[in-house]
Structure 1
Amino acid sequence: MLASQRKQQILQILARDKQVHSGELSQRFGLSEDSIRRDLRELAAEGLLQRVHGGALPISDAIAPLETRKYVQSESKQVVAKKAVALIQPGLVVFLDGGTTTLELVKQLPANLSFTAVTHSPTIAVALVDFPQVEVILVGGVLFRHSVVTMGAAMLESINRINADLYFMGVTGIHPRAGFTTGHYEEACVKRALAGRAAETVVMASADKLNSASAFAIGELNMASTLVVEHDLTGDLRAACQKHGMTLI
């Protein structure tokens, strides 16, 4: 079998099983694990999978720059946002992460809903200008251009003075083995910090984020109390969410 054919089969197995193990692939193809690891390295370099210890996971499509992500899974994000907006009750203090799904959430807000929104996303803050009943706290810091959010010591110091009721956390991947992941190390650190300052963490997940992973771990699935999705979960991901006591909407 040609290497290109083997790699294609690996991708097919990955799409079907949502993970591959180097040892199992070695036995399947009658090759050494070194040869399989080389295949996985090359596929990872092409952006076709995410390597993890012992194998690989499907790579998330949600790691593109913000402007590109506006047009990815837009209908799925709208459906998820409509479900999630009911979680925001009058008087709450709510952390709003950056990202296109959160932007859809803002668009679904009732015009007369009164709450306090805390965000490190200038894009989200500007979108909230049209909601006069919402008090908006924009947390400053160093601008991370890829996601258009602030980061750094000043940002972290500011959120450490806030106790939020809810945190709508943006992720790029949700996988039963890898947990919640994102494409950038500093973003993962910021998300953990925000989750640590909120009574409840809510994750809104469009279809492209399910059963996929990115390079940097935010945390295990038990760090979120609620997962909002377009369609009901199945298989290992549903079982993992239930195991961790997560509410599925």
Structure 2
Amino acid sequence: MKTRRLQDIELYIQNRKEVTLDELCQRFDVSKNTIRRDLSMLMQRGTIGKVYGGAVSHSQAAAPGNFDLLVHGTDKTRIARAAAELVEPHDIIFVDSGTTTRFLAESLDPQMPLTILTNSLDVIIGAAALPQTELVIIGSQFRRLTRAFVGVHPEDLHRYNINKAFMATTGVSITHGLTTLDLMEHQIKKQAASKAERLYLLADASKFGRSTLLTYAALDEVDGIITSELPVSEYILFSKQHGIQLIIADEDEKRSAAEVT
């Protein structure tokens, strides 16, 4: 019966595109706790996305940054501001494509001279407005779903010197490291991570303890993690053991980050 209900809920959300928890409870005559458990199972399958007070179909959730930004938008902005404080004049930085890194260019000092390498359309637009920034675009083919350019040769990023790489991730775990679902973007991420002198991960709290199809860097290769709240103790311990700078984006607008390691 539960399997049939999950199938019916999945079909209902796909047809309606967006639904509320109350609507689902009434339609399927179950409690909110039951609906929440059902939605969690469907989300693990990747067929639907959970948003505050309801759910959206996979096509809605997968629209560029839609689901992730709806739920974690404020955290991502704070993380980007904290990351911007790590950028120094004349740095050569790589800014990854992602719903957190997209805010980094907007957070930079427009008068700071630096070079940005990126395959993210949103970062390109942000960097184009910075008068002192040299912009290098990576990738030859545009993927509308992720708003990123892909299509690189093995030497494309290796020819550049990169002081700092600011990376996004679909999930991060101690076992599988930094992961992504996209094979073509995986190539760019892996090249940038291996080339950078310092590797920074920008990840909101929802990304910890998750892993997806492809690993582009081991967690112990990271120099700093910038996140929205203190992770569970195993990640704090891991960071201390491997000399990883753990930065928590502060809610106080007067401070963009609080270092805990």
Fold match by TM threshold 0.5: yes
**Aligned counterpart, 1:90:** 89
> Aligned-pair distance for 1:221?
0.3
Is the 8 Å Cα contact of residues 221 and 244 (structure 1) preserved in structure 2? no
**Aligned counterpart, 1:111:** 110
**Aligned counterpart, 1:195:** 193
Is the 8 Å Cα contact of residues 122 and 138 (structure 1) preserved in structure 2? no
TM-score, normalisation: structure 2:
0.68
Q: Secondary structure of the equivalent of 2:89?
A: coil
Is the 8 Å Cα contact of residues 102 and 120 (structure 2) preserved in structure 1? no
Q: Give the count of matched residue pairs.
A: 199
Q: Distance in 2 between matches of 1:109 and 1:147?
A: 23
After superposition, residues 24-173 of structure 1 pair within 5 angstroms as 46-48=42-44, 64-68=62-66, 69-154=68-153, 156-173=154-171
Is the 8 Å Cα contact of residues 116 and 135 (structure 2) preserved in structure 1? yes
Unaligned stretches of 5+ residues in structure 1: 8-42, 51-60
Q: Deviation digits for residues 153-190 of structure 1, max 9, x if unmatched? A: 34x43212101100011111111222111122222232
Q: Secondary structure of the equivalent of 1:140?
A: coil
TM-score, normalisation: structure 1:
0.71
Q: Deviation digits for residues 209-237 of structure 1, max 9, x if unmatched? A: 12222222222201211101122222222
Give the aligned residue type for 1:132: P
User: Measured at CA, do residues 64 and 209 of structure 1 come closer, stay the same or move farther in structure 2, by a change above 3 Å?
Assistant: farther
Q: Secondary structure of the equivalent of 2:175?
A: coil
User: Measured at CA, do residues 204 and 94 of structure 1 come closer, stay the same or move farther in structure 2, by a change above 3 Å?
Assistant: same
Instruction: Give the superposed CA RMSD.
Output: 2.6
Q: Deviation digits for residues 123-156 of structure 1, max 9, x if unmatched? A: 21111121101111112312233212222234x4
Is the 8 Å Cα contact of residues 221 and 241 (structure 1) preserved in structure 2? no
Q: Distance in 1 between matches of 2:232 and 2:89?
A: 33
Is the 8 Å Cα contact of residues 120 and 138 (structure 1) preserved in structure 2? yes
Q: Distance in 2 between matches of 1:44 and 1:160?
A: 40
Q: Distance in 2 between matches of 1:71 and 1:218?
A: 26
**Aligned counterpart, 1:221:** 219
> Aligned-pair distance for 1:239?
2.2
Percent identity over the alignment?
A: 24
Q: Secondary structure of the equivalent of 2:169?
A: coil
Give the aligned residue type for 2:157: I
Q: Distance in 2 between matches of 1:212 and 1:195?
A: 19
Higher RCO (CA < 8 A, seq sep 6+): 1
Q: Deviation digits for residues 2-57 of structure 1, max 9, x if unmatched? A: 876xx9xxxxxxxxxxxxxxxxxxxxxxxxxxxxxxxxxxx99944269xxxxxxx
**Aligned counterpart, 1:212:** 210
Is the 8 Å Cα contact of residues 120 and 149 (structure 1) preserved in structure 2? yes
